[in-house]
Amino acid sequence: MTRIGIGIVGGGYMGKAHAVAMSAVGAVFDTALRPRLEMVAASSPESAERYRAAFGFARAAPDWRALVDDPAVEAVIIATPQATHREIAEAAFARGKPVFCEKPLGDSLAAARAMTAAAEAAGVANMVGFNYSRTPATQFARKLLAEGAIGQVTWFRGEHTEDFLADPSIPFNWRCAGRANGNLGDLAPHPINAALALMGPIESVLAEVETVHRTRPGGTVTNDDHAQIMCRFANGVKGHIYASRIATGRKMGYAYEIHGTRGAIRFDQEDQNALWLYRTDDPEPERGFRKILTGPAHPDYAAFCQGPGHGTGYQDQIIIEAKDFLTAIETGAPVWPTFRDGLAVAEVVEAALASARDGAWTRVTQV
């Protein structure tokens, strides 16, 4: 067992989630590397000290630069707004430190490309935080597809739908300004990542992007509320991706449906411990979608619970990410999704924006 000093930049919602995950991961997965919460940095020294006391860090940093520079910080987790990701990551890579960065990788395609180049030049572990793809159910779906369980795949539909801005009377806030804070910057990367993970590279897209509620009490909205993306994958399969922050009634609508010649798969994050599987070779009277409750036979489940159907939760996804990040550091081998995978998502987002602007199919390689 080897201790590793962890520094987390950002102590808010995701900063707390990563602090909790790093505190728990060694016990849950019996990892060879055991994290030590060494240092936390936040928007001010006072905030950092509050997070230090609340989460159990050894020290609070005056700013993120001090955290990255500190020799006791051996790996860095970035849990700050997108616009800050590039500078922090490049500084950490320049010091040879592994980096885990929350999604999206950067606030622009240029930033994502620069961060990926820095990661690969440094030759150290790097990962981007697409936590929803870590559920045992979705990991199992990937396994089924790789094994050809539903035959030749013919169609994909993915979505990420929430309703936190569905009410037009909700006041203007930080999410309503700047492309990176809009639906395409914030929510769409999740279903795009799901599409890439389940189906492989996206070749071209045809997108529509819309701001439905253009004004809110206190300001004018300058980014998008929802977007739909028709896509064609490199393997020839057609698909559709929808992302929305105004989908009334949806709280965590990360969902997908995949059709094949011998079956189909359905999943909805609001029921994250179940996967629905249809097989055409079932007897006709019994043919239909069956609900598979996740259990110890599914990826990464047994470390949390020995009981099938007892379920895992949101925080467990972050613990799985922590395990994967530590594995990448320990072995020196890339663990999906790397910065390169985060860049692939950014390229699809850019292609969707270009398609919506031009009203035409756009190849992802054109961006």
pLDDT in tens, 252-266: 999 999 999 999 999
Q: What percent of the chain has pLDDT over 90?
A: 99
Give the phi and the psi of residue 236 in degrees, each rounded to 5. 95, -10
State the pLDDT confidence band at 363, using cuts at 50, 70 and 90: very high
Model confidence, pTM: 0.96
Q: With the C-alpha atoms ordered 132, 136, 139, 145, is the resulting torsion angle positive or negative?
A: negative
Mean pLDDT of 50-61: 98
State the pLDDT confidence band at 299, using cuts at 50, 70 and 90: very high
Half-sphere exposure at residue 4, Cβ-oriented, CA atoms within 13 angstroms: 26
Check: CB of residue 81 under 8 Å from CB of residue 179.
Answer: no
pLDDT of residue 60: 98
Asked if the model's pLDDT at residue 151 lies above 80, the reply is yes
Distance between CA atoms of residues 92 and 99, nearest Å = 7
Six-digit token string for 198: 């389940």
pLDDT of residue 137: 98
State the pLDDT confidence band at 85, using cuts at 50, 70 and 90: very high
pLDDT of residue 80: 96
Q: Work out the end-to-end distance of the chain between its first and last CA atoms, rounded to an integer number of angstroms.
A: 45
Asked if the model's pLDDT at residue 1 lies above 80, the reply is no
Residue ranges per domain, the chain?
A: 2-131, 133-312+345-358
pLDDT of residue 42: 97
Asked if the model's pLDDT at residue 89 lies above 80, the reply is yes
Q: Say whether domain 133-312+345-358 belongs to CATH 3.40.1260.10.
A: no
Residues 6+ apart with CB under 8 A from 129: 14, 100, 101, 102, 103, 321
Mean pLDDT of 80-104: 97
Average pLDDT value for the chain: 97
CATH of domain 2-131: 3.40.50.720
Mean pLDDT of 43-68: 98
The two beta strands, 274-279 and 215-216, are unpaired
Concatenating the DSSP letter of every residue in 149-164 gives: TT-SEEEEEEEEE--T
Strand ranges for the chain from DSSP E: 2-9, 33-41, 59-60, 75-78, 99-102, 126-129, 153-161, 202-210, 215-216, 219-220, 226-233, 238-244, 253-260, 263-268, 274-279, 290-293, 362-363
**Quick check: helix, strand or coil at residue 300?**
coil
Asked if the model's pLDDT at residue 77 lies above 90, the reply is yes
pLDDT of residue 23: 98
pLDDT of residue 29: 98
State the pLDDT confidence band at 141, using cuts at 50, 70 and 90: very high
